[in-house]
Chains A and B, each alone.
Chain A
């Protein structure tokens, strides 16, 4: 057999049926659902008199709508004050109860953001096909899995048939070799990649992240990178399996045990691209060239380094891009040439499926330790990605570091990343956010999002404006 990429291998292993026009039926191993994109799918099943093909392949949790204050969470589902959110969360509970689907309900310690709980519980494993009605499902690709977001009709299709109608994507390799500077994190790497290839650069491709930088990265870091593949237009991002992957998976609640574990590990060792495998596109970058990144505009490709100034649209040759830049500057209330450091922050958000894992919380806490939030910052919140992350952080005393610094420590959920709950920006407010999208209105009507790493967000909370992390930590990396 000719040399295959990791994506080729995952595709081949899940091919149920090939059609003449190039489309195919692909088998889905794991389906993760949440309250926002599943109710219409369940309704569709019910109307057609169908049942889930394999109800025990589905894992559910409410995350998008859930409140994050202890006050609102204390009494469980019935404590949700927004009546529309309440109905949506209750509907998920009812649907899961009716069809016998495992759900981590609102105050279950295992509840959390879909893309955090999948890998954490071992429900997401190397070599799987994993789907969820959420575009950030590619996060799971960090395990060496084929994972991507789907729409609600496809959620219904997967529930009813355990398959997806798909067409094979092209292969792209994004290779980052060399060493990262100590103050540069996985988030900076992926933002730099998006700035380089653009928000449509990965459209039509399954992206494999390869090279020294990803080999040396923790699983949490790889998840951050794969999470944002969609921000470069790629539905699926992935990293080959290595010892780091296997060490991460071992012992997780749903990981295979005993004889099956040995067999699985043997199979997983092959989950990497063969030497000489063909990639339709290769992008190469050097780790040393990447600096801490901050977004200035309303698209995740509108990113510069902390040392840079806000770019000038007049320098852009392409007319459509120039117009987008002008509109972005107007929306963001920024001027061309203004130093990124001069941007004053109103709020700081540390959380989201991109950056709410234990490593992210530790990185933010390391910067905050011994400092206080700037008075000019109205609110800074840390929202752990799951109940398990929260419990681990509390065991390490990280919650106290934030609280002593005047930063709020919240209950797990998607929170201010998309502001479907009460956590949102006011009009005109600037936010240093560890989330993934700086779209207009994303974090609140008229809100202004700047995407950064957890360390950079923490540093901004202390300084009140963007700074290089090293200025807070005295030259030490966080």
Chain B
């Protein structure tokens, strides 16, 4: 997995609450059996004026001029500012894959839906929770200043604004460790193979029916 240490990048807005994963990446693109290539269809129904199709060349599609990610000032944004309950709905990991493929490295919101929040960490994407009033201030500052950049330092657990103001955020130690070092958590879990086998042996005694194979 890609590691995340410190980034500085343009912030872009997704200024609505309850942005669901259907909105992040519509279902027709879920038919892909790959992990890559979803960026061009990120927020497809908001970003384009027509209905997108899988495997389509998007370069000639009509863009929605009112959608912020289409504004030149947000080009190459790395940080997405969002509102409450971002990523709700379906468990599709295609949502973080699309955000990552588009170029985002970090999403800041007052709250996230849990499955989406989890999925981000598996893909080197950092979801940051800040108080709603702080997020609201960041939105206002971003709208007021073209080229508004945020610096995210995972080691220090801080978000720094262009004026130098710094906000701290919380993150689980284990997730931080994995993200800083780009660790594959399957490999980490398999280091505990003996513990898993010991659990199985004991459980097999207590509840043998749980080990009846599906045949």
Contact = CB atoms under 8 A, between A and B. Distances in A.
Contacts of B174: 19, 21, 23, 165
Contacts of B196: 16, 25, 27, 53, 161-163
Contact of A152 (B93, B209, B212, B213): B93
A16 B192 contact: yes
Nearest to B116: A151
Interface stretch (A125-133, A240-248, A335-343): A125-133
B214 A199 contact: no
Contacts of A256: 209, 212
A22 B175 CA distance: 11
Given A27-B200, A200-B111, A134 B91 contact: yes
Contacts of A260: 208-209, 212
B183 to A, nearest CB: 11
B6 interface: no
A27 B203 contact: yes
Interface in A429-452: 437, 439-442, 445
A471 interface: no
Interface stretch (A176-184, A306-314, A321-329): A321-329
A56 B210 CA distance: 11
B51 interface: yes
Interface stretch (A35-43, A282-290, A362-370, A457-465): A35-43
Contact of A200 (B88, B173, B209, B215): B88
Interface stretch (A2-10, A85-93, A215-223): A85-93
Contacts of B118: 150-151, 154
A17 interface: yes
Interface string B34-51: 110000000001000001
Interface in B10-52: 16-18, 20, 22-23, 26-28, 30-35, 45, 51
B115 A327 contact: no
A128 B203 CA distance: 12
What class of interface size applies to chain B in its complex with A?
35 or more
Q: Which of B27, B54, B199, B203 has the most CB of A within 10 A?
A: B27
Nearest to B20: A439
Contacts of B195: 16-17, 25
A254 to B, nearest CB: 6
Contact of B93 (A37, A43, A84, A327): A37
B141 interface: no
Contact of B115 (A48, A135, A254, A261): A135
B145 interface: no
Contacts of A149: 91, 115
Interface in A156-209: 156-157, 160-163, 165, 167, 199-200, 203-204
B83 interface: yes
B113 A420 contact: no
Contacts of B16: 320, 323-324, 327
B147 interface: no
B189 A135 contact: no
A439 B22 contact: yes
A59 interface: yes
B213 to A, nearest CB: 3
B45 A420 contact: no
Nearest to B119: A151
Nearest to B189: A161
A324 B18 CA distance: 9
Interface in B121-148: 122-123
B91 A87 contact: no
Contacts, number: 196
Nearest to B210: A29
Contacts of A135: 89-91, 115
A262 B47 CA distance: 58
A263 interface: yes
A355 to B, nearest CB: 18
B91 A321 contact: no
B156 interface: no
A69 interface: no
B186 A437 contact: no
A437 B22 contact: yes
Contacts of B84: 200, 320
A44 to B, nearest CB: 8
Contacts of B192: 16-17, 25
Contacts of B115: 135, 149-151, 230, 235
Given A59-B214, A437-B89, A204 B114 contact: yes
Nearest to A121: B214
B172 A23 contact: yes
A102 interface: yes
B172 A167 contact: yes
A420 B189 contact: no
Q: Residue among B16, B85, B189, B214 with the most chain A CB within 10 A?
A: B214
Nearest to B55: A84
Interface of B: 16-18, 20, 22-23, 26-28, 30-35, 45, 51, 54-55, 83-85, 88-93, 96, 111, 113-115, 118-119, 122-123, 172-174, 184-186, 189-190, 192, 195-196, 199-200, 203, 206-210, 212-215
**CB-CB nearest 5 A-B residue pairs:** A56-B213, A153-B122, A256-B209, A151-B119, A39-B33
18 contacts: A21-B173, A37-B92, A39-B33, A59-B214, A84-B31, A102-B215, A123-B214, A125-B209, A128-B210, A135-B115, A152-B35, A152-B119, A165-B185, A200-B85, A320-B84, A327-B16, A418-B27, A441-B22
